[in-house]
Amino acid sequence: MMFPDDQLTVLLAVKDRPAFTMRWMAYAEACALPFHVFVADGGTDDRVETLLKDRARLFRRVAYDYVRYPPDRSYAADYWAKIADALSRIETPLVALADDDDLFVVNGVRRAAEFLLAHDDYASCGGQCAVFWVTDPIEGDAGVYGRRVQWKCSRDTRSLDGGTARERIRRHSLRATHPVYYHVRRTADLRRHVAALLAANLSDPFLIERLLFFLTASAGRIRQLDCVYIARQWNAPGSAGLAHQARHGDWLDRMLVPTWSRDFEQFVQVAAAALAERDGLPTGEAARAVVELYRLWAAPQLLGDILTEPTIAAGMPLRLALAQRLLSRPAASVVRRAARLIYRAVPWISVDLVHGLGWKARPVAGAAAALKPIHDFLSSTCTTSPAATRTAPSPSSVPADTSALL
């Protein structure tokens, strides 16, 4: 059988981690990596160029090209401009993105390339993702090599192969992670997607990666093979995502950054255009779907950050879940009517129960007497008052929120 090794290029993007870059290349040399490698260097450290510019010097079993780019001052613009230029130089029909702290399994990548070449309706293909930690580092290696390496590899063979882009994105949104970023892709597709990323000019790296997935899922189905494909190091320094988190904070913090609203608007616009084209949806419907699908995916991760806020008490999620469960029932249901009756009639049940903020509260002393005039006014049947002849607002004009239980 002829393997499609010459049909795939691994695009290795590096920046100022010479020890990790050299480890990646040494691993490629050790396993005689059969695919072409394009090393796109956006760092300021000259050691990588010194070691790699002479292709016959160290890594003779690896077929690679090395290009030194201007420094990656920003992930949003410089990094992806580097990737766009590298893609314009790659001539193979398939490509796989790589970081220098992640190591591919040759057989897994080969099988993914074979599958993609044989199935035109698939946009990407990969396999099982292992994660590892290098601990007890050898002195001077900063976690590159260590006396102890710990592994974890959980099997997940669920492909995203629904017939519509909307269904594929929805199924992904119900999962915490998916290694599609590192899948084998069609080079022509990735060129278009990266061009769209650059045009959107997003600042948030997590929105950028999410947009790349939306575009991939809109291009075609996504296959997950039952074989080990890549091993990713989770305790390596220098991650763009970790750097952004260190600067701006967690999910909740990042949504308060001034650039985030503009980023999300652009994200929706670009993703909706791809979804509308693929599924034949009106633009407005596609935009609403993008927001809904992003919210579905982000909610659990945002919840994890919200639960750490000092204003969130231990019992609040349970109380809020109970209130929301009751509010989700039809207004005429027996359970909701009973809950409404108890909530309104029992004075020691807190008004803020519907917001999850508390179960009990003390009634205000003298409240009944103080509010009696208002009660009498609202319950009167005076027909001569101008107020009685006013047109009541229609139910659709009253905003719905959790106070509807009142």
Average pLDDT over the chain, rounded to whole? 84
- 221 lies in some domain: yes
**What are 19's strand-pairing partners?**
none
Q: Do the bridges between strand 221-233 and strand 122-137 make them parallel or antiparallel, or are there none, so unpaired? A: parallel
Report residue 402 as tokens.
């959790």
The confidence score (pLDDT) of residue 389 equals: 46
- Considering its fold, how many domains does the chain have in total? 2
Give pLDDT, residue 301.
79
Residue at a domain's end among 245, 273, 303: 303
Distance of CA 53 to the CA centre of its chain: 36
Decide if pLDDT at 371 tops 70: yes
Neighbours of 317 (CB within 10 A): 14
Residue 399 lies in a domain: no
Q: Which of 139-153, 237-251, 383-397 has the highest mean pLDDT?
A: 139-153
SS (H, E, C) 37-78: EEEEECCCCHHHHHHHCCCCCCCCCCCEEEEECCCCCCHHHH
DSSP secondary structure letter of residue 363: P
Residue 354: the pLDDT is: 61
Window from 266-270, 293-297, 334-338 with minimum mean pLDDT:
334-338
Residue with token string 């008490």: 313
- Does residue 284 sit in the same domain as residue 342? no
Asked if residue 119 has pLDDT above 70, the reply is: yes
Q: Is there a contact between 70 and 78 (Cβ–Cβ < 8 Å)?
A: yes
Please report whether residue 389 resides in a domain. no
For 31-40, 111-120, 154-163, 264-273, which range has the lowest pLDDT when averaged over its residues?
A: 154-163
User: Quick one: which of 110, 275, 90, 69 has its CA closest to 188?
Assistant: 90
pLDDT for 150:
86
pLDDT at 303 over 60: yes
Q: What is the mean pLDDT of residues 393-403?
A: 44
pLDDT at 139: 63
For tokens 């409240």, the residue is 367
Confidence of residue 329 (pLDDT cuts 50, 70, 90): confident
pLDDT at 134 over 80: yes
- Residue 405 within a domain: no
> Is residue 386 domain-resident?
no
Residue 149 maps to a domain = yes
**Is 308 within a domain?**
no
Neighbours of 184 (CB within 10 A): 31
Domain closes at, from 265, 282, 303 = 303
pLDDT of res. 140: 62
One domain for residues 117 and 218:
yes
Look at residue 374 and tell me whether its pLDDT is greater than 60. Answer: yes
325 shares a domain with 203: no
pLDDT surpasses 70 at 316? no
d(CA 370, CA 388): 23
Q: What is the CATH number of the domain that holds 80?
A: 3.90.550.10
Domain containing 39 equals: 5-303
Q: What local confidence, expressed as pLDDT, does residue 122 receive?
A: 97
CA distance to 11, 78, 181, 244, 246, per residue, from 82 (Å): 11, 6, 17, 19, 24
Question: In the chain, how many H helices and how many E strands?
Answer: 15, 9
Whether residue 28 is found in the same domain as residue 75:
yes
Query: Can you tell me the mean pLDDT for 65-78?
Result: 90
Confidence bin at 29 (pLDDT 50/70/90): very high
Residues 197 and 342 in one domain: no
**Average pLDDT of the segment spanning 55-72:** 89
- Averaged over 110-135, what is the pLDDT? 94
Q: Can you tell me the mean pLDDT for 189-197?
A: 97
Mean pLDDT of 201-227: 93
288/254 same-domain check: yes
182 shares a domain with 35: yes
Residues 217 and 359 in one domain: no
Select from 278, 303, 328 the last residue of a domain: 303
Task: Give the closest residue to 77 by CA, choosing from 188, 186, 204.
Answer: 204
pLDDT band at 42 (very low <50, low <70, confident <90, very high): very high
Percentage of the chain beyond pLDDT 90 is 50
In this structure, are 142 and 160 located in the same domain?
yes
Residue 199 and residue 62 share a domain: yes
Reported confidence tier of residue 397, pLDDT bands at 50, 70, 90:
very low
Q: Which H or E run includes 149?
A: strand 146-152
Kindly tell me if the per-residue pLDDT of 296 is higher than 80: yes
- Say if residue 220 is in the same domain as residue 345: no
- At residue 358, the pLDDT reads 60
| DSSP secondary structure of 113-134 | HHHHHH-TTEEEEEEEEEEEEE
| Euclidean distance between CA atoms 354 and 401, whole angstroms | 10
Q: Is residue 385 part of a domain?
A: no
Neighbouring C-alpha atoms within 13 Å toward the C-beta of 205: 18
Query: 398 or 386: which carries more pLDDT confidence?
Result: 386
Question: Among 116-120, 231-235, 237-241, which range has the highest average pLDDT?
Answer: 116-120
Between 388 and 138, the more confident residue is 138
| 390 pLDDT more than 50 | no
CA-based nearest residue to 217, from 157, 289, 275, 294 = 275
Find the range with the poorest average confidence among 10-24, 184-198, 199-213, 248-262.
248-262
Residues 299 and 322 in one domain: no
Average pLDDT over residues 6-35: 94
